[in-house]
Amino acid sequence: MWSDAAEALLPVITHLQGQGLQLVLAHPERVAALQCDDAVIDCLTEMGVLLQLNSWTLTEPKDSANYRTAARLLTEDRYFAIGTDLHKSSSMAKRIDGLKVAEQLTSIETVKRLTISNPRKLAGL
């Protein structure tokens, strides 16, 4: 069942999309409410909200909820993009390691689509 907070997002999403914006939800795998309720993710993606994986999440322990959710959404081809979510250069190596894990879970072609081809679509390139 949707939480009150998730329910409150529906009119906001509709409004922003009505303004011509393409919404991208960054790192849904790190949101506890989305880890336990696929119905919320289903609803968001059915509304046209795109999902972006944070590559760093794939370097977390494999038994963590963040990793398990990220790996599941990735192997189910639910993500539109993979981002590095770079806030400081010192963490870049770990984020690159996350891309390597993504290749192991899927394929290099999938990672190229999620890191190059799909983001170019958003940029209009």
pLDDT digits (tens), the chain, 125 positions: 456 666 778 899 999 999 999 999 999 999 888 888 788 888 889 999 999 999 999 999 999 999 999 999 999 999 999 998 777 788 888 899 999 999 999 999 999 999 999 999 988 86
Tell whether the torsion through CA atoms of 59, 65, 54 and 120 is positive or negative: positive
CA distance 80 to 62: 22
Could you tell me the pTM of the whole model?
0.90
On whether the CB atoms of residues 114 and 53 are closer than 8 A, the answer is yes
In one-letter notation, the amino acid at residue 78 is R
Total number of domains constituting the chain: 1
Q: Which of 72, 83, 70, 77 is nearest to 110 (CA)?
A: 77
